[in-house]
Structure 1
Amino acid sequence: MSRRRMAVVGYDTAELLDIACVTTTLVMANHLGTPARPYEVVVAAPGGGPIVCGSGLTLHSQQSLERLVGPLDTLIVSGGVGFEQAAADPRLLGHVRRLAKESRRVASVCTGAAILAAAGLLDGHRATTHWRFASQLAARHPEVTVDASPIYIRDGDVSTAAGITSALDLTLAFIEEDHGAELARQVARDLVTYLQRPGNQAQMSLFTAVPPPRDDLVRRVVDHVAGHPDGDLRTAALAALVSVTPRHLTRLFVEHLGQTPGRFVRQARTEAAAHLLASTTLPLASVAAKCGFGSAETLRQAFTGRYGIPPSRYREAHGARPARR
């Protein structure tokens, strides 16, 4: 039986969760299903030595990065506090480039995107990373189209996941692509996690209610709202999108989300604004426009109603830090 060889690259002070979210999810897929091509998961590190993670815990690698050879199904580079040193290591970058040529898919988690970018593997691609480091990645690699909003981006055969646990969302997407939606659902249930937040959902989303997987219609509308906060999101327009009446859509939203479509849209737009306030320096008027509010004042009212503070104070507390040089 052929197996899908999945290699996860770690290094000194890599983030343990970046690695574990991938490896645990893939191995659980093997345990819960009987895929025709089960995953063979290997954690590789320079020299094949132990990985002292950023948390201080030590993870034993299974393979020397230098001796790892393809073909690989997927190469996944983790992030962590040591990402800058890793991205400046020409030997590590050389092996990442070599293995990428022998892989069907290439991916990164969190600040691992900086390593892919330094290796030239994100040139011409749209990519994401942890929201806190997005501006730094964009400044250092102008050839990469950095989008700080989504929790993951799949651009051809190159994928990038955002902050830490978004690796789980991306890995579930890989499982669905490889083995179908039902196995991905089983894995998500056993992990006690959301059944795949849409990739274009904002990293800073504070959503606490997700439509049950069985209701595809509600999920389609939620995904559309998350991806198009500046669009026409009136209840009538959303109902037309899924070919139902506004009354029927409202009934479904109340049943599955406990709120009307209008209230959900206002919440989603406000949360999108919170993300932009924290991760960009856009003027309030621009934030309002991108999030579907008619004016900065309308944004201020909605934001204060939801978070209890005006947008300006929220930005002071959570705003993007200048990129480190």
Structure 2
Amino acid sequence: MKTTNIGIVIYDDFDALDVAGPNQVFYFLQSLSGGGPQPVALHLIGRKKGEKFKSLEGLTWLVETGYKDAPDCLDVIFIPGGFGKKFQALLKNTEDPFYGFLKSQVASAKKAKKPQLICSVCVGALLLARAGLLDGYSCTTHWAFKNVLSLFPKVIVAPGYPRYVIDQNRVTGGGISSGIDEALAIVEILRGAEVARQIQLSIQYAPNPPQQSGDPSVASAATLHTVSVQIGAAELYEAVSGFLK
């Protein structure tokens, strides 16, 4: 039996929902696949096995798989978004082992001629772009940071505000909650539409928010301005444009 290995790679100050939403979807895929001909192994990956990482929201997560312990060739690499000074430091420092891990995974897949999905949600796309793994691919990110993604000249930023974009083996999601939609799309790629439908029903995913203000196409100008300031859109653009010069 060939095991499908899915790895979610976390770091300091990641967004909790960027991980929890997709992880829930992948957990159900793992459960549905248990004992079958196509088992799924789900890995939460960080620098070292047993290390604890705190999310931006203050939740502590225990990593059970370190970079050195991960399968040599993950079938799915999933990078969440984050924010704050630690996120900016990671984005700036391409010598961080995080990037070495990503590049070694991609190189292993190429050498083995193995299909591999390289995925991100929210500003996780900036980390993939920084690693050079989105060069030549159409992709998306959180609506407030599309201009930051456009600072990477070889990256093709998809128009509008899609929940996710699939371009060959690259799958990128919009802001935070988009990760659930994206994860279901990844399941469909891996196991087909019916399994994706089963998981969607299992988690009762039928969004019906009380307000229609989920992206700039439907939000009021006042709300758009307020949120852009609150989440530091201009500050991140300035920081990234500074160290990319």
TM-score (norm 2): 0.79
CA contact (8 A) 2:8 2:44 kept: yes
Partner of 1:12: 12
User: How far is the alpha carbon of 1:169 from its aligned partner?
Assistant: 0.9
Which residue identity is paired with 1:98?
S
CA contact (8 A) 1:9 1:65 kept: no
Which residue identity is paired with 2:82?
G
User: How far is the alpha carbon of 1:106 from its aligned partner?
Assistant: 0.6
How many corresponding residue pairs? Answer: 218
CA contact (8 A) 2:30 2:41 kept: no
1:96 and 2:102 are equivalent in the alignment: yes
User: How far is the alpha carbon of 1:142 from its aligned partner?
Assistant: 1.7
1:128 and 2:140 are equivalent in the alignment: yes
User: How far is the alpha carbon of 1:73 from its aligned partner?
Assistant: 0.8
1:85 and 2:96 are equivalent in the alignment: no
1:275 and 2:216 are equivalent in the alignment: yes
Which residue identity is paired with 1:46?
R
User: How far is the alpha carbon of 1:275 from its aligned partner?
Assistant: 2.2
Deviates more, 1:62-71 or 1:168-177: 62-71
1:168 and 2:180 are equivalent in the alignment: yes
Task: After TM superposition, list the pairs within 5 Å mapping 1:1-325 onto structure 2.
Answer: 1-32=1-32, 36-48=37-49, 49-81=51-83, 82-89=86-93, 90=95, 91-103=97-109, 104-139=116-151, 141-147=152-158, 149-194=161-206, 206=212, 275-276=216-217, 316-317=225-226, 321-322=233-234, 323-325=237-239
Distance 2:88 2:183 in 1: 24
TM-score (norm 1): 0.61
User: How far is the alpha carbon of 1:315 from its aligned partner?
Assistant: 5.6
Higher relative contact order (CA 8 A, sep 6+): 2
Partner of 1:218: none
Which runs of 5 or more residues in structure 1 are unaligned?
196-204, 208-270, 279-306
CA contact (8 A) 2:144 2:228 kept: no
After superposition, the Cα gap between the structure-2 partners of 1:64 and 1:30, relative to the gap in structure 1 and judged at 3 Å, is closer
Which residue identity is paired with 2:74?
L
CA contact (8 A) 2:29 2:187 kept: yes
SS in 1 for 2:150: helix
Distance 2:48 2:7 in 1: 15
Which residue identity is paired with 1:324?
E
CA contact (8 A) 1:116 1:122 kept: yes
Distance 1:317 1:164 in 2: 18
Structure having the larger proportion of residues in helix: 1
Q: What RMSD in Å do the two structures reach over aligned CA positions? A: 2.6
Partner of 2:113: none
